[in-house]
Structure 1
Amino acid sequence: METWKRNLYILMASQFLVMSAMSMIIPFLPLYLKDMGMTDPKQVQWWAGLIFGINFLSAFVMAPIWGSLADKMGRKIMVLRSGFGMSIVIALMGLAVSPLQLLLLRLLNGTVSGFIPASISLTATNTPKERTGYALGMLQSGAVAGNIMGPFIGGALAEVVGFRMIFLLTGIMITLATLVVSFAVKEEVKPDPSEKKAGFFADGSQILHEKRLLILFSVGFMLQFAMLASMPQMSLFVDQLGAPGGYIAFFAGAVTAVTGMANLLSSPRLGKLGDRYGSERVLFFAMLGAALFFIPHAFVTSVWQLLIFRFLLGLCIGGLLPSLNNLIQKNAPPGKESTAYGYSTSATFLGNMLGPIIGGYLTGFIGIRGLFLLTAAMLLIGAMWLKKGLQRVAVDSPRTHQFPPGKMPSAR
């Protein structure tokens, strides 16, 4: 088997294990706080939200730093650093005896995290250019499958072994995935040790002066903001629609799962289309499709209708992040791919943080149906911004790329 294919399949399986492990704790986090002695429901909700979100805050700050180090030291070592670091921190969460200790450990976990971005960077830089879209789509499928299965596995295991043991099992799963990467993944394209390396701030300045990358970072933020804005309200929306048999929790989970399943199915196929026709075209039309399928969300009258449109939405979502990551790799300065991914990860984490917060606030004024329409409008604006922005940069900055006026730059 070719090295890049072996790397891809191993990293795909590792991402599945890591994302399964990371998402296993989501279903019982509020219950874990109650197990620590917290009884006030409002206090439990507040702490659960804070503990969940603090991980994104520290990861948002650290992602560019780890990305810059990956360009200097190698991408594989960053995967190993993150994997072993997270396995230790998460195992320690099972020993926490207070919400504050759990909060600090989640903060530390975000600081050492980066397994997924480092895996993406390692794959993108060690895969033939004509197959990068397909490879990143496959990675996305592994991560999504882990996100789908993790909560189900975590919920089942919590009933059998208890909350604290879940954290230990999570740490073991991440350790195993990291060990497999350590022994089986080969990094063929490595940083040149003889090349003089710029400092972190010089790297950042170079990345942030690339207009194409700034457009892509802003699109990444908009995507994550739009996708997560309505997620915390989804169970309430299912309740409003009237869950069949009164199984609100089951159908709320199904709404999320069916979107993930569609994402899982479409990511590799849309990645191949990106390799053939250009990832910027796939990203543009996937954003348009997601916007169009968000609109009927505002008019559904039953859970079954919602499930259908969530599935169709998921088919479009499968083309978003893989295409975006492929474009970032294509437009990053040579040798600065991981640094570019670091800033891209920060932008998406910012969307992860602000989307649910602002979405929840806006829901109080316009309702969740209004939020769906607002999300659709945001994705439409984002698609236009992507297309027009890249066209304008192609005309204004022809120093590295030459494109005919009115044409979007091809990532092929």
Structure 2
Amino acid sequence: MQRWKINLYILMVGNFLVMAGMTMIMPFLSLYLQQDLGLTDEHEIGVWAGIIFAANFVTSFLFQPLWGKLAEKYGRKMMLLRSGFGMSIVMLLMGFATAPWHLLILRMLNGVISGFMPAAVSLVSSSTPKERMGFAMGTLQSGGTAGAILGPFIGGLMADNFGFRPIFYITGTLLFLASVITWLLVHEKFDRAAAALKEQVSVLKGFRDLMVIRQLPVLLTVTFLIQFAMLSPMPLIPLYVQHLHGTSENLAFYAGFVGSVTGISNMICSPVLGKLSDRIGATRILLICLAGSAVMTIPQAFADSVGMLLVFRFLLGCFMGGLIPTVNALVRQYTPDGKESRAFGFNTSALSLGNMMGPVVGGALSGWIGIEGLFILAGVLLFLTCIWATRALRSRQRANG
């Protein structure tokens, strides 16, 4: 097998394990706080659970650009190993927490250390032939998406059978094994001596240097809006499903299914759309998927049954599956050689910001516009982003033509 394919498939599995580990805590976090860490008041549990879950994204947003800068100096593989081994240790320590603030500090530390996925994207993009870039980005994305889908399911399953603390030990062990496999089997062509001779600039100056490239602010905004649109209505979807379903029978199943069906179609379509982008162009796929995502988001506000909501959520995931891979391919396309790790670091910060702000803003606005209004707002934002991206990206193509 060609070296770039070996790197791709190993890092796809690594992305799966990282995302599964990050999301495995979601189904039982409040129960862990209650049963193992001694909290009894429901409001207190809810506040702690929200802060602990968000803490990872806050520190990740702040530190990803730094790791992108260091990847240019020490290599992408070094950042993969730093993140993988670091997160495995932090995950193990979470199993020894005895107070909520222990878990909060460790989640914040996990966000500081994280960076496996942008390093994986950067390494794969540097070793993959340009004509196969869309396929590679789509395949890599499918691994992370599968982990995000199956993580909560696996976590809930293990919690029922082994208790809460062993999940952290198991997850930490899997992350450690994934890091060892990456260390042994992933190869990177990196000239550290040449990198040391390059001028070192601050994170802020590196950001300013990249943002003068007209396409990159658009692509970072698209990344932010993808996550914002996906996550802003998520906390309210169980209540929306309850309203549509009209009964408590099988409510948890339907709520979980509605929440995961978008990820399932995303996982299926990411490699397909990535491969198609290699044939017809990443920009075209990105614009089609932005418009399609907007079209499939707005009708969710007018669903009159759970079945109709499921259809629109599934179709939304199909279009969403073409967004992140094509954004990553275009970020690499427009970023000068040698600065791609920094660019992917900023792009991951935009993603973390969307993860962070989506549920917060959605929860704040829901009291005024309801979840129906959130769907409409997300759809309108995606439409506006599509128009903006069309003008910015097409103008570059005309200039190059």
Question: Is the structural similarity TM-score above 0.5?
Answer: yes
| 1:216 aligned to which of 207, 215, 219 | 219
Partner of 2:178: 177
CA distance in 1, matches of 2:388, 2:43: 40
Cα distance change, pair 24–307 in 1 and its aligned pair in 2 (3 A)? same
CA distance in 2, matches of 1:350, 1:194: 31
Q: What CA deviation, in whole Å up to 9, does each residue of 1:339-363 have, x standing for no partner?
A: 0011111111111111111111111
Letter matched to residue 306 of structure 1: L
Cα distance change, pair 75–33 in 1 and its aligned pair in 2 (3 A)? same
Between the aligned residues of both structures, percent identity stands at 48
CA distance in 1, matches of 2:190, 2:81: 17
Q: Tell me, yes or no, if the aligned pair for 2:71 and 2:78 is still in contact at 8 Å.
A: yes
CA distance in 2, matches of 1:141, 1:391: 27
Shift, 1:296, TM fit: 1.5
CA distance in 2, matches of 1:380, 1:204: 27
Partner of 2:40: 39
For residues 329-368 of structure 1, what are the structure 2 equivalents within 5 Å?
A: 329-368=332-371
CA distance in 2, matches of 1:277, 1:200: 37
CA distance in 1, matches of 2:191, 2:215: 25
Shift, 1:194, TM fit: 5.7
Letter matched to residue 387 of structure 1: T
Partner of 2:66: 65
Further displaced range: 180-189 or 89-98:
180-189
CA distance in 1, matches of 2:305, 2:397: 46
CA distance in 2, matches of 1:275, 1:189: 26
Cα distance change, pair 52–194 in 1 and its aligned pair in 2 (3 A)? closer
Letter matched to residue 14 of structure 1: G
CA distance in 1, matches of 2:123, 2:60: 19
Q: Tell me, yes or no, if the aligned pair for 1:263 and 1:314 is still in contact at 8 Å.
A: yes
CA distance in 1, matches of 2:261, 2:290: 19
Letter matched to residue 240 of structure 1: H
Structure 1 residue runs of 4 or more that deviate by more than 3 Å after TM superposition: 189-195, 391-395
Partner of 1:282: 285
Q: Tell me, yes or no, if the aligned pair for 2:77 and 2:119 is still in contact at 8 Å.
A: yes
Q: What CA deviation, in whole Å up to 9, does each residue of 1:201-233 have, x standing for no partner?
A: 443332232222112112211221111111111
Shift, 1:180, TM fit: 0.8
Shift, 1:199, TM fit: 2.3
Shift, 1:245, TM fit: 6.2
Q: Which structure 1 residue ranges, 5 or more long, are not aligned?
A: 396-401, 405-412
Partner of 1:6: 6
Shift, 1:393, TM fit: 5.5
Q: Verify: 1:373 aligned to 2:370, yes or no.
A: no
Q: Tell me, yes or no, if the aligned pair for 1:63 and 1:343 is still in contact at 8 Å.
A: yes
For residues 16-95 of structure 1, what are the structure 2 equivalents within 5 Å?
A: 16-35=16-35, 36-95=37-96
CA distance in 1, matches of 2:86, 2:247: 43
Further displaced range: 196-205 or 145-154:
196-205
Cα RMSD of the aligned pairs, angstroms, is 1.5
For residues 91-240 of structure 1, what are the structure 2 equivalents within 5 Å?
A: 91-188=92-189, 192-193=194-195, 195-201=197-203, 202-240=205-243
Letter matched to residue 199 of structure 1: V
Letter matched to residue 197 of structure 1: E
Q: Which structure 2 residue ranges, 5 or more long, are not aligned?
A: none
